[in-house]
Amino acid sequence: MSRRLLLIPLLAFAAESPAFADTVYLKSGKNLEGTVQSESRGQVVLNIGYGTVTLDRSEIVRVRRSSARSRGRLDRALEEREFESGLLVPKRAAKLHRFFSAVLNARDAALDAKARDKSLEEEISSLHSEIANLKERDAEMSASLADLSPSANPAGYNEFVSRLNAVRGALRSDTLRIDDDRKREKEDGHAVFRYVNAYGRLQDYLRGEGRRRGNLRKNGLEARYYRFVRSKARIWRKDFERDSVLPESTLSGGNLVVKALINGKVPARLMVDTGASSIVLYDETSAALRVDPDDRLGETMTTVADGRLARGKHVRLRSVSVGRSVIRNVDAILLPGHGAGFDGLLGMSFLKHFAVRVEDGHLVLESLK
């Protein structure tokens, strides 16, 4: 690997590396830190944790070696950098590495997406208010236009029409902006879901198969890799909020029924169903909702529990609350009929925002802060 390709990670490592690293002082006035892997009369090979760099002796003023104790700590730090970069993965830990890499790759995008959530929600709310005002002005101006005569006062009539068209143009613009914001929310939701889902799979592996494997050969490379991943998982846990929800009841077959609050006002008892793509609400709850016309998205066909196709109304719910967890702008399907002891299904349009599992009879929802 050439020095030119290593320049960016090399400088990053030098800025972050501990004082107990080996240090190579260059004639250019810069110094590089890492572990000296080998030396000869002509060259020095320095391990920087993301690979190695080979330096000509003619470029070097001197090399300062760390102490034996410091070298041990540095070797561990460099090994962890190699673990994180994927340069060093024990063969028997390949499965764990796939889970770890998925979390590592998804995390930054998810945190950026989550940071945008509030501003998008505020903008959409503001646009909805503005649209309501514009619609009211449109109706008033349209009624006034009927009383104007284009022949009696052409200039005044044309000016009024121009103002009405401006209102309608603003209405179209705001509607398009909401559509764009909804698309961004959806894309951001996918990014959050990828991280939450990847983190959940990593945690499941560490609690199950990984728990047994990580206890083998406690001083070996594989065990050190498992300890490293567990330490990263503990750090990442701080990204999440945990909500443990006591179910209202448990149906035959082990299905949980939990209390939910729809649009901040309508209570519902929903059966947790990870096989349902959306929230499903039956007649009684649907009637109580009084869905806003802007949130009616059309009709759709869906497969119900007994395998039949049923026609339902596709709507957007402004909010769904379960326990302490609240998700806004959630797709749902309103279906005729009723459930046996529940008012609908808590499907993936809500659950996809969480790492979901059942612990001690509780529904556990882990979401991104």
Predicted confidence band of residue 7 (pLDDT cuts 50, 70, 90): very low
pLDDT digits (tens, 9 = 90+) for 292-312: 887 888 888 776 655 667 788
- Report helix, strand and coil shares of the chain as percent, to nearest 5: 50, 25, 25
Angle at the Cα of 329 from the Cα atoms of 326 and 330, rounded to 5 degrees: 80
Q: Are strands 279-281 and 325-334 parallel, antiparallel or unpaired?
A: parallel
Contact 43, 55 (CB under 8 A): yes
pLDDT digits (tens, 9 = 90+) for 85-133: 888 899 889 999 999 999 999 999 998 888 887 788 888 888 888 998 9
Q: Given a cut of 80, is residue 361 above it in pLDDT?
A: yes
Q: Which of 355, 366, 346 is nearest to 255 (CA)?
A: 346
d(CA 341, CA 345): 11
Phi, psi of 294 (to 5 degrees): -65, -20
Q: Which of 112, 50, 106 is nearest to 79 (CA)?
A: 50
Distances (CA, A) of 100 to 50, 270, 343: 17, 34, 39
pLDDT digits (tens, 9 = 90+) for 244-297: 999 988 876 778 999 999 999 999 999 998 888 889 999 888 888 888 887 888
Instruction: Provide the 3-class DSSP secondary structure of residue 39.
Output: strand
Predicted confidence band of residue 162 (pLDDT cuts 50, 70, 90): very high
> Can you name the residues that pair with 333 across neighbouring β-strands?
280, 314
Of all residues in the chain, the percent with pLDDT exceeding 90 is 31
N-term to C-term CA, the chain:
40
Range with lowest mean pLDDT among 41-45, 109-113, 152-156, 186-190: 186-190
- At 306 the pLDDT is 58
- At 18 the pLDDT is 46
Exposure string (b/e) for 43-79, b if CB count within 10 Å is 16 or more? ebebbbbbbbbebeeeebeebeebeeeebeebeebbb
Where do the H-state alpha helices sit in the chain?
3-16, 68-85, 94-145, 154-207, 209-213, 221-236, 283-289, 348-351
d(CA 264, CA 261): 6
| Domain segments of the chain as ranges | 3-85, 95-238, 246-368
Number of H helices, E strands in the chain: 8, 16
Note whether 3-85 and 246-368 share their fold. Answer: no
Residue with tokens 């459930």: 339
- At 261 the pLDDT is 95
Angle at the Cα of 249 from the Cα atoms of 245 and 253, rounded to 5 degrees: 110
Contact 345, 279 (CB under 8 A): yes
Question: Tell me, which fold does domain 3-85 have in CATH?
Answer: SH3 type barrels. (2.30.30)
d(CA 367, CA 195): 10
Contact 210, 203 (CB under 8 A): no
Question: 127: which 2 tokens?
Answer: 């646009």
Instruction: Provide the 3-class DSSP secondary structure of residue 252.
Output: coil
Length of the chain: 369
Instruction: Provide the 3-class DSSP secondary structure of residue 262.
Output: strand
pLDDT digits (tens, 9 = 90+) for 310-334: 788 899 998 999 999 999 888 899 9
| DSSP track, 122-176 | HHHHHHHHHHHHHHHHHHHHHHHHTT--TTT-HHHHHHHHHHHHHHHHHHHHHHH
Q: Given a cut of 50, is residue 2 above it in pLDDT?
A: no
- At 5 the pLDDT is 36
- At 308 the pLDDT is 67
Residue 258 is classified by DSSP as E
Question: 53: which 2 tokens?
Answer: 């760099």
pLDDT digits (tens, 9 = 90+) for 164-188: 999 999 999 999 998 898 888 878 8
Q: Which of 365, 100, 77, 78 is nearest to 236 (CA)?
A: 100
pLDDT digits (tens, 9 = 90+) for 100-111: 999 999 999 998
Q: Identify the CATH class of 246-368.
A: mainly beta
Query: Is the full-model pTM beyond 0.95?
Result: no
Q: Which of 242, 292, 240 is nearest to 262 (CA)?
A: 292
